[in-house]
Chain A
């Protein structure tokens, strides 16, 4: 560990420290960057790193080759990801036992371990990370440095120019100039609403007060989104530097980072970084001799989606229930402890040092008219390549899903992409050419949200998706105001009824009445946007609702009360696979003879459907009407229960 323990008192000292760090490093030296992000860790990448170190030791390379444990590289689907720097050889799906071969073949002999390379659907192998289609079409301005940074090594961040922007802001710019630069860059908040960051800072700084607060929102409550975790865990200093610059711009001496407790590694990394900074004097009094005092506290969230809303989050920091405040006063005027407070998302903050360092013009050259820069998306669901991807604003959905994501899994058909989390909506295939930015997503009836993109295929029922989100919100709403609490309750009742095939005439109108009222009258953003998943699916997939209500049919074959499983006797080869796997023994038949399902016993667990060999496909989902014709009992599911 070469953690710097010296105090840095001036920008010059910072630069000379940086020079020292850089010159102590041979730029051609080999570094093995092992991703220890959340995805790769699940595949035991920490053992990969350990084993590589052990092998290096064996080959006497321990002091020549460094193993760096970094945050998420992006391509989590194929993790653990190991990149050999500087040559950029990228190994995927690396197992701990592959360490020996990697060290011997690549690090000792300079060759390539073919079997660990990326292999496209055409069978062609690709060695270099930047040529893999998943990465090739990205523009990793914020997220790209992750693979060079061990979050527990301040040196790594410094070597990449860390805290240069802070020094520039503190010593060469006035707070007002900093805010203006951010305004000019066109940076908009990455946490949901896309509010211009510079304008928020400006408003906060204008309010007379003896203290102002700057806060990072790392609550990341949207299920399916994890880019904030990727940044905070992998590159905590970038967020801290952004927060410090924000503090300087708005005139605050105290910053907060609100992190959900579900991200313990992110919390550890941030706390460690703060400790190091305090030791160096980069947090505390008179930072870099500029007269600017600043310190940071970390607050853990205890699990509530609604606590990510700004006024709720501030209440939570005060130790109170994290529910939104009903007052018509902005948090930039009266926020934490009644003081002017500026809250920004993790990714927003991580953009700030880049803007100050490289200038607003550089930044504003990326993206679209109304949305500048890049955006990190969490590309997940039924797409082939899942992971974190960063693209310039304005990239089309098609590029993201097909060029980067590699299209759909299992040769299925694309049906829609859900963006914006529970407040967002589903965008259908017809809109795949939509350039993704704040305004375009909003006009398509969804929203950017924090950047989750959940890809759905033909096997997804859109009524069920709407029901899923409302169910989520029924639990996650704070429950204070009537439109949200009671509105969601009734929407869930109606949607459950529809997915159970008990939909009634007038249900769609009822949904629309409630939804419209909630949009206008609910107390906070959660309630106001809660109907979005229903409204957007109604907008693009109305016929699916009608099929459920009028024909008691679930076109995607998802809603259990509306489907039944049946074995096509003409196709069944009697392999007995399904009979063995069925958990309730509902399948009978002799070997090599067609099997049958006892529909009364069947719990519709889908097991037989999945185990039936792809070449045979004898197990079929049939509609309720068809099942009844075959004599199946009508399953009455308690709607709304």
Chain B
């Protein structure tokens, strides 16, 4: 806990205690902890003098923030238009069965999170997913299981 708060203070300080950089700070915290706990958010609020209701409006507004712990490996499946017309739904189904978790959820061992995103910016290759940082274009169920198995 102490360590966590130390990190929070550090990130806020690196951003010059600047209220305007609130979203940037939260992005860094999200990256650091893979989620934003209530304690972390309260600390940010106190430190920057932003009321808690504003902070929650903000973190629940942007899709990138998570208020529950995310898995160590994030599978993001694009459901953007270009991918949608090329079978994103099918890809989503196979990934869901490979990681054994529903879209938008995290496995109970916090190993995997399965997210849907609206565009990954690689639309020509649809359907696209990013598996643990790696872009994959229309992977076969086999490729997906291999990737999933390679995750620690």
Contact A456 B122 (CB under 8 A): no
- Closest Cβ of chain A to B139, distance in Å, is 10
Contact A226 B121 (CB under 8 A): yes
Q: With an 8 A cutoff between CB atoms, is A229 at the interface?
A: yes
Given known contacts A38-B121, A319-B21, is B81 in contact with A223 (CB within 8 Å)? yes
Complex alpha-carbon distance, A261 and B65, angstroms: 11
Contact A42 B62 (CB under 8 A): no
Cβ-neighbour of B125 out of A39, A307, A321, A478 (below 8 A): A39
Given known contacts A226-B119, A319-B21, is B81 in contact with A454 (CB within 8 Å)? yes
Give the residue name and chain of the A residue nearest to B65 (CB). Answer: A302
Residues in A whose Cβ lies below 8 Å from that of B91: none
Give the residue name and chain of the A residue nearest to B94 (CB). Answer: A583
B42-70 CB mask vs A (1 if < 8 Å, else 0) is 00000000000010011001111100000
Given known contacts A222-B119, A223-B119, A378-B123, is B64 in contact with A303 (CB within 8 Å)? yes
Q: With an 8 A cutoff between CB atoms, is B117 at the interface?
A: yes
Given known contacts A41-B135, A42-B135, is B124 in contact with A380 (CB within 8 Å)? yes
Residues in B whose Cβ lies below 8 Å from that of A307: 62
Residues in B whose Cβ lies below 8 Å from that of A386: 82, 123-126
> Which range holds the interface residue count of chain A?
35 or more
Complex alpha-carbon distance, A39 and B82, angstroms: 14
Cβ-neighbour of A226 out of B21, B22, B122 (below 8 A): B122
Give the residue name and chain of the B residue nearest to A476 (CB). Answer: B118
Give the residue name and chain of the B residue nearest to A41 (CB). Answer: B135
Q: With an 8 A cutoff between CB atoms, is B23 at the interface?
A: yes
Give the residue name and chain of the A residue nearest to B26 (CB). Answer: A302
Q: With an 8 A cutoff between CB atoms, is B102 at the interface?
A: no
Residues in B whose Cβ lies below 8 Å from that of A454: 81-82, 85
Q: With an 8 A cutoff between CB atoms, is B19 at the interface?
A: yes
Complex alpha-carbon distance, A452 and B27, angstroms: 28
Complex alpha-carbon distance, A606 and B89, angstroms: 11
Given known contacts A42-B136, A380-B123, is B63 in contact with A303 (CB within 8 Å)? yes
Contact A468 B84 (CB under 8 A): yes
Complex alpha-carbon distance, A77 and B137, angstroms: 10
Complex alpha-carbon distance, A478 and B117, angstroms: 17
Residues in B whose Cβ lies below 8 Å from that of A490: none
Complex alpha-carbon distance, A379 and B85, angstroms: 13
- Closest Cβ of chain B to A581, distance in Å, is 10
Cβ-neighbour of A300 out of B24, B54, B78 (below 8 A): B24
Complex alpha-carbon distance, A476 and B61, angstroms: 9
Most buried by A among B79, B90, B123, B135: B123
Complex alpha-carbon distance, A304 and B58, angstroms: 11
- Closest Cβ of chain A to B111, distance in Å, is 23
B1-26 CB mask vs A (1 if < 8 Å, else 0) is 00000000000000000111111101
Give the residue name and chain of the B residue nearest to A383 (CB). Answer: B124
Q: Tell me which residues from 184 to 218 in chain A have a Cβ below 8 Å from any Cβ of chain B.
A: none
Most buried by B among A76, A303, A605: A303
Residues in A whose Cβ lies below 8 Å from that of B22: 319-320
Q: With an 8 A cutoff between CB atoms, is B86 at the interface?
A: yes
Contact A319 B82 (CB under 8 A): no
Q: With an 8 A cutoff between CB atoms, is A305 at the interface?
A: yes
Complex alpha-carbon distance, A452 and B85, angstroms: 13
Contact A224 B123 (CB under 8 A): yes
Complex alpha-carbon distance, A494 and B54, angstroms: 34
Residues in B whose Cβ lies below 8 Å from that of A88: none
- Closest Cβ of chain B to A414, distance in Å, is 13
Give the residue name and chain of the B residue nearest to A478 (CB). Answer: B61
Complex alpha-carbon distance, A387 and B137, angstroms: 14
Complex alpha-carbon distance, A317 and B22, angstroms: 9
- Closest Cβ of chain A to B18, distance in Å, is 8
Residues in B whose Cβ lies below 8 Å from that of A478: 61
19 contacts between A and B (CB under 8 A): A38-B121, A41-B135, A43-B137, A220-B121, A222-B119, A223-B123, A224-B123, A262-B117, A262-B120, A302-B62, A302-B64, A317-B20, A319-B19, A320-B58, A322-B62, A381-B82, A386-B125, A454-B81, A454-B85
- Known pairs A220-B121, A229-B121 / 20 extra A-B pairs, C-beta < 8 Å: A39-B137, A42-B136, A223-B81, A224-B82, A225-B123, A262-B120, A300-B27, A302-B26, A302-B62, A304-B63, A319-B21, A319-B22, A320-B54, A321-B58, A381-B85, A381-B86, A386-B82, A386-B125, A421-B81, A452-B82
Top 6 closest A-B pairs, CB basis? Answer: A223-B80, A42-B135, A302-B62, A76-B124, A319-B22, A386-B124
